[in-house]
Structure 1
Amino acid sequence: MKLIQILGTGCTKCENLKANAEQAVQQSGVEAKIEKITDIVKITSFGVMMTPALAIDGEVKVVGKIPSADEIAKLLI
């Protein structure tokens, strides 16, 4: 099971990233848990200084933009 982490303070962009991640999980068929991290200390512990960010299994994959569901699905495979 993959762990997808949405790093952001809860802004609209962060919500859009979460929605795209949920859609990516559905279309890829990969078993995954989506976790939203809003604590700024935890976010910076990933080395992220710009949100939203996307991490998969603890590894930051995207920072400062909202990848499409298709782009996220490719990162899951």
Structure 2
Amino acid sequence: MKKIKVLGSGCAKCSQTAEMIADISEEMGIDAIVKKDTDPQSLLKFNVMKTPAVIIDDELIHSGSVPTRDEVEGWLRD
């Protein structure tokens, strides 16, 4: 099971990113837990300068923009 966090302030882009990842993982039949994380300490822990940021299994995968569908599918396949 993949553990996915979307880090950010709770802005619309962060919410959109979390919803998109959850929807795509469900469509692909991938077992994933997607959580939004608005804790400033999490941003510091992963050294995130721009949000939304995507963390998969405790590894920073993406930050600074809403990812594309192709990017998300690639992350979920890995």
- TM-score normalised by length of structure 2: 0.90
| Equivalence for 2:21 | 21
Match of 1:44 in 2: 44
| Partners of 2:8 and 2:52 within 8 A in 1 | yes
Q: Which amino acid in structure 2 is aligned with residue 4 of structure 1?
A: I
Which ranges of structure 1 fall in alignment gaps of 5 or more residues? none
In the alignment, is the contact (CA less than 8 A) between 1:27 and 1:73 conserved in 2?
A: no
Q: Aligned equivalents of 2:22 and 2:42: distance in 1?
A: 22
Residues 1-77 of structure 1: matches in 2 within 5 Å? 1-77=1-77
Say whether the 8 Å CA contact 1:22–1:34 is kept in structure 2.
yes
What is the root-mean-square deviation of aligned Cα atoms in Å? 1.1
Kindly provide the amino acid, as one letter, of the partner of residue 56 in structure 1.
I
Q: Distance in 2 between matches of 1:70 and 1:25?
A: 12
| 1:70–1:29 Cα change, 3 Å | farther
Consecutive unaligned residues of structure 2, counting only runs of 5 or more, are none
Distance in 1 of aligned mates of 2:28 and 2:38 = 26
